Amino acid sequence: MPATPAVEVLDLVKTYGAKRAVDGLSLTAPAGSVTAVLGPNGAGKTTTVEVCEGYRTGDSGTVRVLGLDPRRDRRALSSRVGVMLQAGGAYPAARADELLRHVASLYADPVRPDELLERLGLQAVASTAVRRLSGGQQQRLALAMAVVGRPELLFLDEPTAGLDPQARLATWELVQELRAQGVSIVLTTHAMDEAERLADHVVVVDRGQVVAAGSPTELTRNGSEGLIRFRAVPGLPVDDLARALTTQTTIEEVAPGTYLLHGQVDPQLLASVTSWCAGRGVLVEDLRVEQRSLEDVFLSLTGRELRT
């Protein structure tokens, strides 16, 4: 019999006045895996996760967390679910160590607070008031507070935002260790490399709905056959280049001076690209056939315009 999903959301709707923040959204986070929920600002992912955490109530739809209703069964879930908020949730005047010990005291079998402080590089600031910690240190303390109770399910909201590379790596390693222990993790992040490295399952949300879901490999493989990336001077007339090529292709400038070409890749296509550039005195650099990144997929699904 298959395991009960860690999180199930079916046809969730949430409105704020005239704005429909979540519009019939459905997703599943499998048990014992890392599920990354991705989306632009205002896409509805944070509202959806907050409903799953029990902090908000949907207008309609069904939400189950470890098989239970996150609002009605909140008391039963409190010892089984850990939540890391991006901001807030800590007493600013409390010392880091006393706050973590207080949270640990609420659970029957917590991780030793000293062990977590050491693991997350907080031992040197253990006696420092929360308000005097740097942003990155507060992030790591919030993570420690979320995992100290040995949760079955962990919600992480932008867990590495503002962290330096060393702290980011330590956070990734902890997440991977928890997953290996069977903990289910739902992760919201804007860092595509983070999702690609950590997630077993990715859900892309835009305008209140799921627009794609699957493993990172599935999402990046779909439509990725025949992908060429190269660098040259910015502002090449990509429509002219597409017309000059011998096969049906599309080409876009994904960043200044970086070009992505979709088509049937063969020696003739590669020769045509370099020949067209040479005819205009343009030097092609770093030309390679490759698979799409998760960031490429995300931008193709949600667009490139800035969101407020």
Q: What's the pLDDT at 107? A: 95
Cα dist from 63 to 6, 22, 31, 44, 56, whole Å: 11, 13, 15, 15, 11
Q: What's the pLDDT at 308? A: 61
Q: What's the pLDDT at 279? A: 94
DSSP 253-294: EEETTEEEEES---HHHHHHHHHHHHHTTPPPEEEEE-PPPH
Q: Tell me the average confidence (pLDDT) per consecutive run of 10 residues in the chain, 308 residues long.
A: 86 95 97 96 93 96 97 95 81 93 95 96 96 93 96 95 92 96 96 95 96 92 73 94 83 92 84 93 91 83 74
Decide: helix, strand or coil at residue 117.
helix
Sign of the alpha-carbon torsion through 241, 225, 210, 195: negative
Decide: helix, strand or coil at residue 231.
strand
* Residue 166 CB-density burial (10 A; 0-12 exposed, 13-18 middle, 19+ buried): exposed
Helical (H) or strand (E) element with 214: strand 209-214
Cα dist from 179 to 153, 163, 187, 190, 205, whole Å: 10, 21, 12, 20, 23
Q: What's the pLDDT at 307? A: 63
Cα dist from 30 to 7, 45, 48, 202, whole Å: 7, 17, 16, 11
Q: What's the pLDDT at 262? A: 83
Decide: helix, strand or coil at residue 7.
strand
Please give the domain boundaries of the chain with CATH numbers for all domains. 7-219 (3.40.50.300), 225-290 (3.30.70)
Tokens of 205: 């949300």
Q: What's the pLDDT at 266? A: 83
Helical (H) or strand (E) element with 177: helix 165-180
Amino acid making up residue 48: T
Q: How many CB atoms lie within 10 A of CB 41?
A: 10
The span from the CA of 138 to the CA of 285, in Å, is 42
Q: What's the pLDDT at 225? A: 58
The span from the CA of 206 to the CA of 218, in Å, is 19
